[in-house]
Structure formats: C-alpha cells, structure tokens
Amino acid sequence: MAQMSFYDVHCHALTLSHPSFLAFIETVRARRFESLLSYAAAPNYLVSSLFLKTGERIRNMLAVMENDAGSIFSLMEDDLAGAFATADDPRPLLSDGELGIGRLRFDRLVLVPLVMDFTAGGGTATGSYYNRPASKPVELQVRDLLEGIRDYRLTRPRGFLEIRPFLGIDTRHYELDSLKALLERSFAGYSRDRDVSSAAFAAMADFEGGRGGEPHFAGIKVYPPLGFDPWPEEGGEGGAEREKLELLWGFCEERRIPVTTHCDDQGFRVVGLEKSLGMTSPEHWAPLLDRFPELYLDFAHFGAQYLRAIGRNQSTEWTDRIVGLMREHPNVYADFSFNGTDPDYYRWLLGYFDRIGAADAELVRDRLLFGSDFMVNLSRIRSYADYYRVFASSPLGDEEQRRFCHDNPERFLFDGTSPLGSEAHRSR
C-alpha cells in the first residue's frame, strides 16, 4: 500500500532557555492597561494561563519545556502512543506503527518545529539588581533544535517522527552580507523533491554542530510581535531593512522556500499592541506579495482575532483578507494552529465556508494546513494527543481532514502531492 504522512506544519520544541520570559513580563508591566484590556477582550490571551486553575496550564507547559529538544520530540510521540493516558482516556491514536485519525491511517508523522528569533527579546527587569541584558542569540536555539533532532534519530532510529525544522529569522540582527551567508549556508542542500529532502533529514543523525552532518531547514519562520517588520516603509531606517528584506524574500521566492508568519492578534509580544497589529496584519503583507507574487507563505492561525469590544462578535477581517490573498496568489496558505484547541472551531470553520461561497470555500479547502502550535497550545488544552483527538472527532469529513493534514502540506512543502487513490489512505 502507498504510504501517507500526517503533517503538523506548526509546532515548537522550545526549552526554558529559549524565550525571554522576562521581556514578556516587562512588556505586560510597562503596558498594564493595554494588557488588562487584552485579557478582558481576548479569552485565549496567553497571560490567562497564569491564573486559571492555580496556573495548572502554565505548569503543564513548563513540564514540557523543562526537557531538551530531543526529549520533547520523544514526549510528543509517546503521548500519541498513550504513554501519559489516564484510565478514562480513549485508546491511543498511535499503535502498531500507524496513526489513526477518524477513518484515516498514516504511516509517518512529519513535524515542522518553528524556530523563533528571540534575539530582540532579551532584557532586564526594571530596576533589578542584575541589570545586564540577557542574551538570547537564535544560534543557540538552532543548535539545541538540531542536536535534538540528532538525538531523536539516534535513540529512535525507527521512530515515527520525521522532523523538518523552519529557521527563525529577524533581519534586524544581520548585515546584508551576513544574512546572505546565513541563507546560503542554511539552505545549501534545500530541495522541494521529497526524496532528496528525506535523505537530508536522515543525514541529520550525524549533526555535530558544524563538525559533521549538515543542518537542513525546510523553510523560514518570522514573528512580527517580536518587532520584526516584514515590509517597512522605504527611506530612513526602513530603507536599510528593505534591502535585506528584498534579499530574504527574493531568495525564498526564487528557491521556492516556504515561509510561515505569525498571524493572530495574540502571542508572545514584546512591542506595543498597535505596532504589533500593524506589522502582523495580512494587509501589511499585500504589497510584499505584489512584489514577490510566487512566494510560498503560510499565515499561521488563519488570522484569528480575539480582541473585540465587550459584547461584540469576533472579527474575521484578517481571515477574510487572507482568503483574498489566496485568490490573488497561487502559493498563499494558512494554518489553523492553536485554533483547534476549541472543538467549536471546526464547526465555526464549516459555517465560515458556507458564508464565503462555494468558490472561495473550495479555494480555502485547498490551502488550509493542520498545525498544533504545541507546546504553546498547552495554555488551552491538556495534551498534544488531545489536540489530535479534537481534530479526529470534528465534523470535518474524511476528505477535508485528509486535505488539511496531508494533501495541502505536501504541496506547501514539496512539489506536488502523493497519489491518492483508494489504497493511499486506509479506512477501518
């Protein structure tokens, strides 16, 4: 039988050493009114996990982040296999070498852990005794992640996971020449041929931090709430950044390297709300896509907007704009990472398809990607396995589920999709 992989195109392998929690806390302290407004208007706001059930959710997240990256990957696989299940939990999703999602069966799980460049997030507590700014170079997170992939491959040579990391980039931390060198080095062996890419992934078992085995990245991750502007105004400081961004987006478009950008109004934010929203909004990406119309771009979280006036419905302005960009550009995608923590999300999604009309609904069905946002999603759900169970038991049909977790990610990451006949996906 033909094999079929399940894809989680948006997850993380963050350890406690990677993010600057101090910078996040200081942002909340410095903008108390703004943070309280966000908390009141956005029930999914990250800060809420600190208070609900005596911090149970944040403690559960920290229990994962205490691990090294390799152990996090093993934990994710073990969770799907039922290693942490209680007596009341359903049977494991992963058994006998297959992942079961509803009536679909998968032979492999492809994880896409996204590196986030927290370099700009290092800081000190206001008035603190230890006032030396913290250093959060992205190179350390990259090394930890690549060594984690190596360790997973060595300890589980027949493991169920295939791990394809995205490199986090913030162009503000590079000169033009060093950015070009980073891109050339990190994507020297890049290929959209799945077999070539799989061989490069397997070779990462020999990674020794530059002394053996080449790092292999499957794409690029950018994160505007940390202060990254994907397309600043020309002139002034923006002019110098535009030259580097022209290089970055041109490099990605020419080599067809996929890019994922954060696109909801929450998350790990260290700049003011108004600035963050302006740089994150899909409308801000429209002129960039006009300049690079073939760019493979995934709008993470499908533009979810949680901020709203009390008593008002949640806005779909960003989601609607992403659909418009999908119409205009052939390689614009979106993922619903984190959104799927709420079982009602999938009912909302089907209702949204009805509202936007048949043509646009079919377009979105062809561009939407499964993502978990693990471990961040633990602020809203108990476990990685539970996130999969919500998806498996959703009102989505078999074909829609298959599109979101297999067909569409194959096109986003590789050239074409595996043949799908009656033998390519297995029913009970």
Burial code (b: 16+ CB inside 10 Å, e: under 16) for 144-178 equals bbbbbbbbbbeeeeebbbbbbbbbbbbbbebeeee
The total of other beta-carbon atoms located within 10 Å of residue 409's CB is 27
For residue 105, the cross-strand partners are 100
Quote the pTM value: 0.90
Q: Record the tokens describing residue 330, joined without a space.
A: 């052939």
Q: What domains, with CATH codes, occur in the chain?
A: 5-413 (3.20.20.140)
What is the DSSP code (8-state) at residue 281?
Answer: S
53-67 pLDDT, tens per residue?
Answer: 556 888 899 999 999
**In the 8-state DSSP scheme, what is residue 141?**
H
Residue type, 294: E
Give pLDDT tens digits for 243-275.
999 999 999 999 999 999 999 998 888 888 899
**Buried b / exposed e along 75-107 (16+ C-beta atoms within 10 A):** bbbbbbbbeeeeeeeeebbbeeeebbbbebbbe
pLDDT one-digit tens code per residue, 147-196:
999 999 999 999 999 999 999 999 999 999 999 999 999 999 899 998 88
What's the pLDDT tens digit per position in 302-352? 999 998 766 678 899 999 999 999 999 999 999 999 999 999 999 999 999
